[in-house]
Chains A and B, each alone.
Chain A
Amino acid sequence: MNDVINIAYLVTAATFILALKLMNGPKTARQGNLLAAGGMCLALVATFFLNEKGHNVMLDEQGGFKSLNLILLIIAFVVGSFIGTFSARKVPMTAMPQMVALFNGLGGGAVALVALLEFRGFSMTGESDFVKLSTSVLSLVIGSISFSGSMIAFAKLQELMTGRPIVYPGQKLVNGLIFTAALVLIVMLIATTHSFTLYLGLFALALIMGVTFVLPIGGADMPVVISLLNSFTGCAAGLAGFVLGNTSLLIGGGLVGASGFILTVQMCKAMNRSLGNVIFGAFGAVDQTALASGAGQQGTVRSYSVEDAAIIFASASSVVIVPGYGMAVAQAQHVVKELANKLQEKGIDVKYAVHPVAGRMPGHMNVLLAEADVPYEQLYELEDINPMMPETDVALVIGANDVVNPAARYDKASPIYGMPILDVDKCRTVIVSKRSMNPGFAGIENELFFLPNTIMVFGNAKNTIASLSSAVESI
Chain B
Amino acid sequence: MTLIAVVTIFILAVFVGLEVIAKVPQTLHTPLMSATNAIHGVILVGGVIVLATASEPVGYTVGFLAALFGVLNVVGGFVVTDRMLEMFKRKPKKEESK
Contact = CB atoms under 8 A, between A and B. Distances in A.
Given A40-B78, A72-B51, A106-B69, A233 B40 contact: yes
Nearest to A234: B40
B88 A370 contact: yes
A363 B26 contact: yes
A81 B6 CA distance: 31
Interface in B47-98: 47-54, 58-60, 62-92, 94
A111 B46 contact: yes
A218 interface: no
Contacts of A254: 9-14, 16-17
Interface string A15-34: 01101110111110110111
B83 A258 contact: no
B75 to A, nearest CB: 3
A379 B27 contact: yes
Contact of B38 (A36, A81, A110): A36
Q: Summarize A's interface: helix, strand, loop or mixed.
A: helix
Contacts of A363: 26-32
Contacts of A100: 30, 33-34, 37, 77, 80
B1 A96 contact: no
Most buried by A among B10, B51, B54, B76: B76
Most buried by B among A26, A32, A58: A26
Interface string A435-460: 00000000000000000000000000
Given A69-B51, A363-B31, A247 B91 contact: no
A258 B18 contact: yes
A83 B54 CA distance: 24
A17 B20 contact: yes
Q: Summarize B's interface: helix, strand, loop or mixed.
A: helix
A127 interface: no
A33 B27 contact: no
A376 B37 CA distance: 25
Interface in A238-255: 238, 240-242, 244-255
Interface stretch (A85-93, A162-170, A295-303): A85-93
Contacts of A230: 33, 36-37, 40
Interface string A150-188: 000000000000000000000000000000000000000
Contact of B91 (A58, A233, A373): A373
A237 to B, nearest CB: 4
Contacts of B91: 370, 373-376
Contacts of A107: 37, 40-41, 43, 69-70, 73, 77
B46 A120 contact: no
A237 B40 contact: yes
Contact of A252 (B11, B42, B71, B78): B42
Of the four ranges (under 10, 10 to 19, 20 to 34, 35 or more), the interface on chain A belongs to 35 or more
A88 B33 contact: no
Interface stretch (A259-267, A338-346, A400-408, A409-417): A259-267
A361 B72 contact: no
Interface string A377-397: 001010000000000000000
A259 B29 CA distance: 11
Contact of A58 (B3, B21, B52): B52
Nearest to B80: A88
A362 to B, nearest CB: 4
Most buried by A among B72, B77, B78: B72
Nearest to B11: A254
15 contacts: A20-B20, A23-B24, A26-B27, A26-B28, A40-B42, A107-B40, A109-B65, A110-B46, A233-B43, A258-B14, A361-B33, A362-B30, A363-B28, A366-B88, A371-B87
Given A77-B67, A110-B70, A236-B43, 19 more contacts: A26-B85, A33-B31, A40-B42, A80-B68, A100-B34, A113-B63, A113-B69, A114-B49, A249-B43, A249-B45, A251-B10, A251-B13, A256-B17, A258-B16, A262-B18, A263-B33, A373-B91, A373-B94, A379-B27
Closest 4 CB pairs of A and B: A80-B71, A258-B17, A254-B13, A84-B75
Interface of B: 1, 3, 6, 9-18, 20-54, 58-60, 62-92, 94
Interface of A: 12-13, 16-17, 19-21, 23-27, 29-30, 32-34, 36-37, 40, 43-44, 47-48, 50, 52, 57-58, 66, 68-70, 72-73, 75-77, 79-81, 83-85, 87-89, 91, 96-97, 99-100, 102-104, 106-107, 109-111, 113-114, 116-118, 120, 131, 226-227, 230, 233-234, 236-238, 240-242, 244-260, 262-263, 266-267, 270, 354, 356, 361-364, 366-367, 370-371, 373-376, 379, 381
